[in-house]
Amino acid sequence: MLLRLPQCCAALTCLVISVLLLSACSTSQLVARGAAPLIDNGVTAMNRETDLELARASIPANLKMIEALLLADPGNVAYRVQAAMGFYGYALGFVEPEDRARAAALYRRALDHAEVALDQAGVTQAMLTGDVAVLEQGLTKLDARAVPALFWTAATWGKWIELQLDDPARLAELPRVEILMRRVLALDETYYHGGAHLFFGAYYGGRAPMFGGDFARAERHFDRAAALNQNRLLLVGVYRAQYLFRQMGDRAAFHATLSRVIDAPPGPDPDLNLANALAKRQAAALLTQEDDLF
């Protein structure tokens, strides 16, 4: 049966629009976006790894694969977040203990990726570095969809600053990191195993009260992080000892907490295998430094 003329025009219009949309999206972009399930599975497989040397050898290639996909699809927010998370995790787990300068460069690289993702959500580089009131106002417009970009921008920025505490310009940026992470708490405190609470536990626990530290506040944030991840993320114990108990001068609590981390049996969540293996190694390293730290 023949279509009436208006129906024919509508069908032709839809066909033309579809062709134009496909033309606007290059073949390389289509390939890059089609790789999303593979990248997601790769992240999951890496998180479930228990062999630290295998993880250390594998992560760089995975990171370069994500960056290759971003060359084809630079506005891909999911890939930007995964790149930020990947460079952060690689620097934290494998580079910082041996080469702080290289780790700082990798945190900066992670931050660059996170900032692109946050820009897509509506918070520009100019807002991050400009007037604080404008930044705070802009953050109020974000909803839960922006949490991954917010969290990884704050987390990577915070670590970059932590490795440059002798630079006054970096220290001056720290309140902006706090603002971002507070917005994460407001939107979704559960994100990344309660990661924002873990951040604030270290943030308030790692400084003496005269410099803005608050031990009781740090304890509450560590407790909340542990509750949100059901005590499955061993890094909570490591950070509690490394930042809070060390700053408090509580050597007994420091030693006992790190010993519990080392002795913890395998957890029920395989997606925390790598994080927990790294936490155990970090706990052991801190115990070897106990005499120097106290």
Three-state SS across the chain? CCCCHHHHHHHHHHHHHHHHHHHHCCHHHHHHHHCHHHHHHHHHHHHCCCCHHHHHHHHHHHHHHHHHHHHHCCCCHHHHHHHHHHHHHHHHHHHCCCCHHHHHHHHHHHHHHHHHHHHHHCCCHHHHHCCHHHHHHHHCCCCHHHHHHHHHHHHHHHHHHHCCCCCHHHHCCHHHHHHHHHHHHHHHCCHHHHHHHHHHHHHHHCCCHHHCCCHHHHHHHHHHHHHHCCCCCCHHHHHHHHHHHHHHCCHHHHHHHHHHHHHCCCCCCHHHHHHHHHHHHHHHHHHHCHHHHC
Say yes or no to pLDDT of 151 above 70.
yes
Say yes or no to pLDDT of 207 above 70.
yes
Most distant CA atoms of the chain, gap in Å: 89
Task: State the average pLDDT over residues 5-24.
Answer: 38
Confidence at 117, pLDDT banded by 50, 70, 90:
very high
Confidence at 17, pLDDT banded by 50, 70, 90:
very low
Task: State the average pLDDT over residues 209-238.
Answer: 97
Confidence at 245, pLDDT banded by 50, 70, 90:
very high
Task: State the average pLDDT over residues 231-248.
Answer: 98
- How far is the CA of 110 from the CAs of 73, 80, 95, 202, 279, in angstroms? 17, 9, 14, 20, 21
Determine the pLDDT at residue 65: 95
What b/e readout covers 254-289, taking b as 16+ CB neighbours within 10 angstroms? bbebbeebbebeebebeebbbbbbbbbbbbeebbee
